């Protein structure tokens, strides 16, 4: 702006000899500014591109109504993360959708990192939202689900594995079972780091930094095998038990008509060597036939109660 108050166009062209480093650090043309987002200067609108929405720095608000605004009438239609961006994130509008919703018995909620409110869905799919609560599950923006009912959580991971052929994992906490995201899982692995999750002091931590008081973990083995001790690229369930959640059982739901529940539990491996492992494997179903997957789905057997009622530290001392 000059002395007369006239806005002047910024000259984004450089004389010959200007280095690339100088161009990248020039704030007049550096496109990534507030929040690390790109400043879109198309048609002189100067909006920040937040992927799922645009932000107007002059009005200090997003320019599109939130797709779930009707759920929060007391906050406003242009809210972002329910007006709580400090504790919540919604980086790219990835959402949940219904599949087979015309068939009540088959319909299920699924998560796809590429689905957004305006995405074109298949004929048997219906947009559900970025987050929602259905039954005993809270469907979260990162693709995970917190179930207050254990049996519903186990049914979810079992049925998902039947559908996809991939492993599924639930984190058994003192507040319920957190089913972790699954869209990067394989038939032989659930890698928490794929979703920004980690494990600290034996407790699973989600991508937002929330730590869950972890009692145990449970995951499916679509091929029917028991807890793995060695795989092509590591020590499998044994490595997870020893390095991530020592003294806490890693339960395996064995599928493929085996239909057993087994576990592996390990002491910390302080040496990082094969000789440093101290672990036990145990097939629960073979010892107690009533403790089977079907009992889990009906709520007649709970892995949380089984965990509380056994002293795994003492087991590892034998």
The whole domain housing 192 covers 135-317
Distance CA 254, CA 188 (A): 12
What is the pLDDT confidence band of residue 272, given thresholds at 50, 70 and 90?
Answer: confident
Q: Span 222-249, mean pLDDT?
A: 91
Of 176, 170, 179, the closest CA to residue 142 belongs to 179
In a domain, 93, yes or no: no
Q: What is the pLDDT of residues 135-154, one digit of tens each?
A: 999 999 999 999 999 999 99
Report the DSSP pairing between strands 125-129 and 95-99: antiparallel
b/e map 127-137, b = 16+ CB within 10 Å: bbbbbeeeebb
pLDDT reading at 2 higher than 60: no
Q: What is the pLDDT of residues 183-225, one digit of tens each?
A: 999 999 999 999 999 999 999 999 999 999 999 999 999 999 9
Q: Reading across the β-sheet that carries 47-49, which strands appear in turn? A: 38-40, 47-49, 54-56, 61-62
- pLDDT for position 123: 80
Residue after which a domain boundary falls, among 43, 64, 85: 64
* pTM score, whole prediction: 0.71
What is the pLDDT confidence band of residue 299, given thresholds at 50, 70 and 90?
Answer: very high
In a domain, 283, yes or no: yes
Specify whether 196 is located in the same domain as 279: yes
pLDDT reading at 28 higher than 70: no
Specify whether 34 is located in the same domain as 146: no
- pLDDT for position 180: 97
Percentage with pLDDT > 70 across the chain: 74
Domain count, the chain: 2
In a domain, 293, yes or no: yes
What is the pLDDT confidence band of residue 23, given thresholds at 50, 70 and 90?
Answer: very low
In a domain, 74, yes or no: no
Sign of the dihedral through C-alpha 192, 198, 203, 208: negative
Q: What is the CATH number of the domain that holds 147?
A: 3.40.140
Question: Could you tell me if 185 and 123 are in contact, meaning their C-beta atoms sit under 8 angstroms apart?
Answer: no
Residue after which a domain boundary falls, among 49, 64, 79: 64
In a domain, 159, yes or no: yes
pLDDT reading at 128 higher than 90: no
What is the pLDDT confidence band of residue 312, given thresholds at 50, 70 and 90?
Answer: very high
Specify whether 38 is located in the same domain as 151: no
If one compares 12 and 159, the residue with the highest pLDDT of the two is: 159
| Beta pairing partners, 48 | 39, 55
pLDDT reading at 249 higher than 70: yes
Of 132, 131, 112, the closest CA to residue 122 belongs to 112
- pLDDT for position 227: 97
Three-state SS for 44?
Answer: helix
202 exposure class (CB count in 10 Å sphere: 0-12, 13-18, 19+): middle
- pLDDT for position 129: 86
Kindly report the backbone phi and psi dihedral angles of residue 151, in degrees, each rounded to the nearest multiple of 5, phi listed first.
-60, -35
- pLDDT for position 60: 74
Q: Span 119-123, mean pLDDT?
A: 81
Diameter of the chain measured on Cα atoms: 88
What is the pLDDT confidence band of residue 4, given thresholds at 50, 70 and 90?
Answer: very low
* DSSP per-residue letters across 101-168: TTSTTT-EEEEETT--TTPPPPTTEEEEESSEEETTEEE-TTS-EEESSHHHHHHHHHHHHHHHSS--
Distance CA 178, CA 132 (A): 15
In a domain, 89, yes or no: no
Q: Span 172-192, mean pLDDT?
A: 95
Q: What is the mean pLDDT of the chain?
A: 82
Specify whether 202 is located in the same domain as 300: yes
Kindly report the backbone phi and psi dihedral angles of residue 176, in degrees, each rounded to the nearest multiple of 5, phi listed first.
145, -165
Residue after which a domain boundary falls, among 64, 79, 103: 64
DSSP state of 191: -
In a domain, 127, yes or no: no
Specify whether 176 is located in the same domain as 28: no
């Amino acid at each position: 702006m000059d002395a007369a108050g006239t806005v002047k166009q910024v000259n984004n062209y450089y004389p010959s000899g200007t280095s690339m480093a100088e161009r990248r650090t020039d704030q007049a043309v550096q496109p990534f500014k507030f929040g690390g987002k790109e400043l879109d200067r198309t048609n002189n609108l100067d909006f920040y591109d937040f992927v799922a929405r645009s932000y107007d720095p002059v009005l200090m608000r997003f320019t599109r109504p939130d797709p779930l605004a009707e759920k929060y009438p007391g906050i406003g239609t242009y809210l972002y993360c329910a007006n709580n961006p400090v504790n919540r994130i919604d980086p790219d509008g990835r959402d949940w959708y219904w599949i087979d919703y015309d068939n009540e018995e088959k319909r299920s909620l699924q998560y796809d990192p590429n689905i957004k409110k305006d995405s074109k869905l298949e004929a048997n799919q219906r947009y559900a939202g970025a987050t929602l609560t259905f039954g005993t599950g809270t469907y979260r923006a990162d693709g995970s689900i917190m179930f207050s009912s254990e049996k519903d959580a186990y049914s979810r991971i079992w049925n998902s594995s039947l559908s996809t052929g991939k492993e599924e994992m639930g984190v058994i906490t003192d507040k319920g079972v957190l089913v972790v995201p699954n869209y990067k899982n394989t038939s032989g692995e659930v890698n928490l780091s794929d979703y920004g999750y980690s494990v600290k002091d034996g407790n699973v931590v989600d991508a937002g930094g929330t730590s869950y008081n972890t009692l145990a973990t449970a995951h499916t083995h679509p091929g029917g095998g028991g807890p793995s001790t060695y795989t092509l690229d590591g020590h499998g369930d044994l490595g997870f038990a020893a390095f991530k959640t020592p003294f806490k059982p890693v339960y395996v739901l064995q599928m493929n008509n085996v239909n057993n529940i087994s576990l592996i539990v390990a002491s910390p491996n302080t040496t990082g060597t094969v000789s440093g492992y101290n672990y036990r494997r145990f097939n629960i179903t073979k010892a107690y036939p009533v403790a089977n997957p079907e009992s889990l789905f009906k709520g007649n057997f709970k892995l949380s109660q089984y965990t509380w009622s056994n002293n795994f530290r003492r087991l590892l001392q034998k």
